[in-house]
Chains A and B, each alone.
Chain A
Amino acid sequence: MISELEQLISNALMELETITGDKELEAWRVRYLGKKSQLTTVLRGLAGLPVEERKRVGALANRIKAELENGYEQKTQLLREDQLVSAVGAESLDITLPGRLLPGGRLHPITQTINEIHEIFVSMGFQVMEAPEVEWDYYNFEALNIPHHHPARDSMATLWVDQKNERGERNMLLRTHNTAGDIRAMEIMKPPIRVVTTGKVYRYEASDATHVPMFYQIDGFAVDKNITMAELKGTLYEFARRFFGEERKVRFRCDYFPFVEPGVEMAIECGVCRGKGCRLCGNSGWIEILGAGMTHPKVLERGGLDPKVYSSFAFGMGIDRLPMLRYGIDDIRLFYGSDLRFLRQF
């Protein structure tokens, strides 16, 4: 009996070795571990054996059963792995075929630029403010120290709305700059104030590669008890550093705007020639990017603030120029032409 069992296990294990498929394995299991297998018969017949033999045969049969079951598990695992490997091998595909695209659009390059600029100024404590595009003469000119007949009005050719007040004067216009929002800011906020007003501005100008009647501007405005030109410089230099990069030089020079005193023009080193002078920068090595200055006392007074107590800076910057410089765009009209072949590039 014992030798039969030992013969059995050696046969079973040898057979198991040679099995390569699921069906064969199942047949093997039925043959050696099934209800009608020799082993099961032996185990069932144990009860009829004398005590001593029952113990010996029983122990051996149970050991053999455990060994066979273990062999079966291992074989099952082995076969599954083989199948997975061969299945994967059969499943190659052309990975150069295009993927299944989710629809994707883009924000306008101007919107992207505005978002970038806002992020910088918001991190410096500025709040983004909105103001009307159709504006009164008062906010756009008069309150900013630009009375009628001021030569500065000539430099901002104005689109007037065809509407007159009781005195027969045209007084409604499309804002020519976002500085128009500064007085509004003073009317609704108390110092300390830090705001940027961003959006469309309008000029009475025929379109060409460098002019369009509508473009984007950002105006910044800060008021408090001890705002100085040093903070104006700090704010704008930091903006330039973050927007244009660490290595670009920046300069402040004197310029004139009626609503500031002293007035400033800020330029960055030309990105093409790096300050040596080229066609883009008109041989100066510098590219003007914004006008700024310390808010004129008369403007603070118009906003209801005492210029002896409060000081303030303001700056205004054209936005379209920034992506033009960054991407080498040579025609401003492209921004407003809605051509997907252009817009998709950003």
Chain B
Amino acid sequence: MKVSLSWLKDYVDIKLPVDELARKLAMAGTEVKAWQAIGGRWEGIVVGQITAINPHPNADRLLLPTIDLAGEERAVVCGAPNLKIGDKVAFAHVGAKLIDGHSGELISLEAAKIRGVISQGMVCSEKELGISDSHEEIMVLPAEAPVGTPLADYMGDTILDLDITPNRPDCLSVIGIAREIAALTGQEVRLPKDDYDESATTIDSQVAVEIIDPDLCPRYSASLVKGIKIGSSPPWMQQRLIAAGMRPINNIVDITNYVMLEYGEPLHAFDYNQIRGRKIIVRRAKKGEVMVTLDGSKRALAPDMLVIADTERAVALAGVMGGYDSEVTDNTTAIFLEAASFNPPSIYETGNSLGLPSEARMRFERGISPGVTIPALKRATQLLVEIGGGQAAKGFIDAYPGQKKEEPIRLRASESKRLLGVEFSVKQMKDTLSSLGFEVKAGASGAELLASAPYWRSDISLEEDLIEEAARIIGYDEIPTTMLGQPVPPHNPSPMLRLKSQVSRILADYGFQEVITFSLTGMDALNKLMPQPHALEPEPLRMTKPMTAEQEYLRPTLRANLLTALESNLRHEENGVRLFELGRVYHRRKNDLPLEPEIVCGVLAGPRFEPSWRGGNEALDFYDAKGIVERLFGQLGVEVSFEAGSDESLHPFKQAAVVVGGKRLGVVGELHPKVADAFEIAEEVYLFEVDLMALLPFTIGHKMFQPISRFPAVVRDMALVVDVGVSNAQVQAIMRGFPLVTEVSLFDLYSGEQLPAGKKSLAYRISYQSPKHTLTDDEVNKVQQQILDKLSKQLGASLRG
């Protein structure tokens, strides 16, 4: 909210410099986002009066007004259409700093000859003074502006831009801020004049109010002012409205806006003569009811919307927008002025469904206190009488079905200690709360108080609320700084967190860069993962109002975003790219939150090693990707095996399922060339993926220590010839099945001319070792022969000659 310092000073004395004031307000909960000095640059600009206007000898559109500056006169050249003899204007001497009307830049005014006539200064527009963007006309000052006075002295000001928290609708007002300043600086608040002469006729004899739905309207107050003359509001009022960011309209609308800014209570002025049956009925809209709002739109009303109606029709959408029929017009002579309290959710729903934001709505939604209706109404009625020239009917209407008896709240010094860690004294708390307008009485003991919130506060209901009030005014700096002590809660670190952190570090160490991509993705990207597009099962979770088509679904896989990232990086990386992401994917479940398994997925493309002066420029292949998975599981201490895989996004013959404890919980393989193509990647891409949620149970617990044999190992080689269809895993499984075999490694693979067609050669290095004794050659030879026999019998293997 924007508030001018000069307006605030009407209600409270402010002696602090602005930055200090801003600091105090911020510390107590009202942040001052920025402040702007109006007139800070107005050196050389003074109030002048137009005493004569002569035509320009050489230009039809230019005039030569003479400006009186109290004692001296200046002739200037001016093209504004609104020059009038007698008007007070802002006159800039040569050398003054102004905003250029066209470029918007700050310039220094120079003496200039315009079409042959010298201009001895300039008459300024609002834009040139930095007040608004208006540049068509010169700014006309109020008639009482003292000629010759520096403009900054007459109308300089500082505008504070305040951030009001949602719990303080009372601070969406100048008086509300003045109250905060008063409490923070030990000053008193001066409320504006609100008394006026009433006519003899009572309001009750001229209009009635009935609240049918008090749940949506706990209070409805009103006054009646007749004999109004519609016109423009006084310049001082207009100036303040402009400074607060509102546009002056006419004296009636301006008064309601002015008092809303002053007290925080939204007001609505009806044309009294348009209220049929002389009765206001506050009720829910009827089924199928339609009304035209003051913006001219015809609106279909829903039965849960609250309307202000007369005996025949709705005349306003309560708290949201006035009706076209009852609007104040130039012909209006009598005003029925409403100050009411409405149910915030109802205002929110109505305003939201009709898409009508407004200053009034914002205040109602935040729950401005019902206590404010009468003070605001009095003040506005006083202004209607004073400025609008009307006569107020005697008394008010004040229907208050929602009035609650507010019990005072107990406040104990001990409770401030329990919550804040510092015990405020009863006197300190009493003084502080009193300065905020609370009514504070002695409590049951000397160590406690009974406090009642002032009528304008709607956010106080608990002892904790009172403690915050005391603390924020006394200052959070008074609260000590203490470390948490005993007892320290038991520490049970999450095994998943540990696993995630291990996996990330291992992959980073193996050359993979971690990326984090959005959890939302688009169907387009998901479709690219399927060589044969089909519906996804289960269907990914969709957002209600997706921000973009690329962010419509919660990702069921990390792959799409990761491949997109790979593609964009390959454009500028020459030495290959290795990326991984570790994060959640989301799978729909019936009647429950989705499953959110943690998945790690890695992608790699490009050469195996960075090309170097030492050579080594080979392309990656399946076994690079598999090797990474093997090392990852090796580091995690989890035994892993691989089976033929069937992942549709991967090359059908260059992929494997990652198997742990008989469970398939991941894949590794080459990306299907069609998928790579869909992501516009020309290179071969390798991908691996592991479901960490499925893996987690296999990582828990410790392995037991294996003693190191004191006896030496015997190493033997065995070169076999087998059918090409026989896998390494089959051979190794048989070899490892023999008790003395401790290690088996494949060191050569050959197929080609030297072997018959359909055959390949596998050469293994086998380690034999016993924990009990040194093995003899005979023992090893025996096992070696047994292995060969078994291989020959089961896999048709023979020794390579």
- Residues of A with Cβ closer than 8 Å to B? 97-98, 100-108, 110-111, 115, 122, 124-125, 127-130, 132-136, 148-152, 155, 159-163, 170, 172, 174, 189, 192-194, 200, 202, 204-206, 213-214, 222, 224, 226-231, 233-235, 237-238, 251-256, 258, 261-264, 282-284, 294, 296-297, 311, 335-336, 338-341, 343-344
Picked from B365, B419, B508, the residue with its CB within 8 Å of the CB of A228 is: B419
B596 touches A230 (CB 8 A): no
Residue among A98, A115, A262, A338 making CB contact with B464, cutoff 8 Å: A262
Are A101 and B610 in contact, CB atoms less than 8 angstroms apart?
Answer: yes
CA distance A122 to B491 in the complex (A): 9
Contact of A105 among B494, B507, B568, B610 (CB under 8 A): B507
Q: Which 3 A-B pairs have the closest CB atoms?
A: A103-B511, A230-B421, A228-B421
Contacts of B584 in A (CB 8 A): 133
- Are B543 and A161 in contact (CB-based, < 8 A)? yes
B565 touches A149 (CB 8 A): no
CB proximity to A under 8 Å, residues B565-583: 565, 568-569, 572-573, 577-580, 583
Closest B residue to A130 using CB positions: B494
| A-binding segment of B130-138, B145-153, B469-477 | B469-477
17 contacts between A and B (CB under 8 A): A97-B613, A101-B609, A107-B508, A111-B514, A127-B489, A133-B596, A160-B545, A189-B489, A193-B489, A206-B547, A224-B487, A227-B484, A297-B464, A336-B517, A338-B565, A340-B513, A340-B572
Chain B residues, Cβ within 8 Å of A105 = 507-514, 578, 580
B484 touches which of A134, A174, A194, A200 (Cβ 8 Å) = A194
Least distance between A117 CB and chain B CB atoms (Å): 13
Indicate the size class of the contact surface on chain B. Answer: 35 or more
Which chain B residues lie closer than 8 Å to A224 at the CB level?
A: 487
Flag if A135 contacts B487 (CB, 8 Å).
Answer: no
Given known contacts A161-B542, A213-B551, A228 and B482 CB-to-CB distance under 8 angstroms: yes
- Contact check: which of B28, B542, B572, B614 meets A100 at CB < 8 Å? B614
Cβ contact within 8 Å between B476 and A254 = yes
Which of A192, A214, A233, A343 sits near B519, CB closer than 8 Å? A214
Contact call A262/B494, Cβ cutoff below 8 A? no
User: Contact partner of A335 among B501, B516, B544, CB < 8 A?
Assistant: B516
Docked complex Cα distance between A322 and B697 (Å): 34
Q: Are A338 and B568 in contact (CB under 8 A)?
A: yes
**Which B residues are CB-close (under 8 A) to A151?**
166, 365-366
Least CB distance, B536 to chain A, in whole angstroms: 15
CB distance from A323 to the nearest CB of B (A): 12
Cβ of B682: which chain A residues have Cβ within 8 Å of it? none
Closest to B594 in A: A134
B484, B515, B610, most chain A CB atoms within 10 A: B484
Chain B residue nearest to A125 in the complex (CB): B488
> Inside 8 A of A238's CB, which chain B residues have their CB?
483
CB distance from B469 to the nearest CB of A (A): 9
Q: Which residues of B contact A133 (CB under 8 A)?
A: 519, 584, 586, 596
Q: Which residue of A lies closest to B472 (CB)?
A: A254
With both beta carbons as reference points, the residue of chain B lying nearest to A294 in the complex is identified as B419
- The 8 Å CB contact of B420, one of A161, A213, A230, is A230
Tell me the bound Cα distance from A161 to B587 in angstroms. 13
Which chain B residues lie closer than 8 Å to A122 at the CB level? Answer: 491, 493
Residues of B with C-beta under 8 A to A104: 508-509, 511
Chain A interface, DSSP helix/strand/loop, else mixed: mixed
Q: Is the CB of B613 within 8 A of A311?
A: no
Q: How far is the CB of B714 from chain A (nearest CB, A)?
A: 33
The stretch of B76-84, B117-125, B341-349, B729-737 in contact with A is: B341-349
Q: Are B541 and A134 in contact (CB under 8 A)?
A: yes
Q: Which residues of B contact A (CB under 8 A)?
A: 26-29, 31, 33-34, 165-168, 344-345, 348-349, 365-366, 417-422, 462, 464-465, 467-468, 471-472, 476-477, 479-485, 487-489, 491-494, 496-497, 501, 504-505, 507-520, 541-545, 547, 551, 554, 561, 564-565, 568-569, 572-573, 577-580, 583-584, 586, 593-594, 596, 609-610, 612-614
Q: Contacting B544 at CB < 8 Å: which of A102, A155, A161? A: A161
**B468 in contact with A128 (CB, 8 Å):** no
Residue among A111, A160, A170, A230 with the highest chain B CB neighbour number at 10 A: A230
On whether the beta carbons of A231 and B483 are closer than 8 Å, the reply is: yes
Does B467 lie within 8 Å of A262, measured CB to CB? Answer: yes
User: Please, which residues of chain A bring their CB within 8 A of the CB of B508?
Assistant: 104-107
Partner of B28, one of A130, A230, A254, A261: A254
In the complex, chain B residues whose CB is within 8 Å of the CB of A192 = 487-489
Contacts of A170 in B (CB 8 A): 544
Q: Are B482 and A136 in contact (CB under 8 A)?
A: no
CB of A72, distance to nearest CB on chain B (Å): 38
Which residues on B sit within 8 Å (CB–CB) of A204? 545, 547
B residues in contact with A336, CB < 8 Å: 516-518
A160→B520 CA distance, assembly (Å) = 12
**A234 B505 Cβ-Cβ under 8 A:** no
Separation of A108 and B505 alpha carbons in the complex (Å) = 11
CB pair A229 B479 closer than 8 Å: yes
Give complex CA distance A311, B579 in Å: 45
Instruction: Chain A residues near B422: list those with CB within 8 A.
Output: 230
Q: Are A261 and B510 in contact (CB under 8 A)?
A: no
- Taking A213-B547, A297-B462 as contacts, is the C-beta distance between A253 and B29 under 8 angstroms? yes
- What B residues does A101 contact at CB under 8 A? 609-610, 612
**Could you say which of B27, B468, B573, B586 contacts A340, with CB atoms under 8 Å apart?**
B573
CB-defined contacts of B515 to chain A, threshold 8 Å: 108, 338, 343
A194:B489 contact, CB within 8 angstroms: yes
* Chain A residues whose C-beta falls within 8 Å of the C-beta of B541 in the assembled complex: 134, 161-163
Task: Collect the chain B residues with CB atoms within 8 Å of residue A100's CB.
Answer: 612, 614
Whether B484 contacts A125 by the Cβ 8 Å rule is: yes
- Does B543 contact A160, Cβ atoms closer than 8 Å? yes
Determine if A200 and B482 form an interchain contact, defined as CB atoms under 8 angstroms apart: no
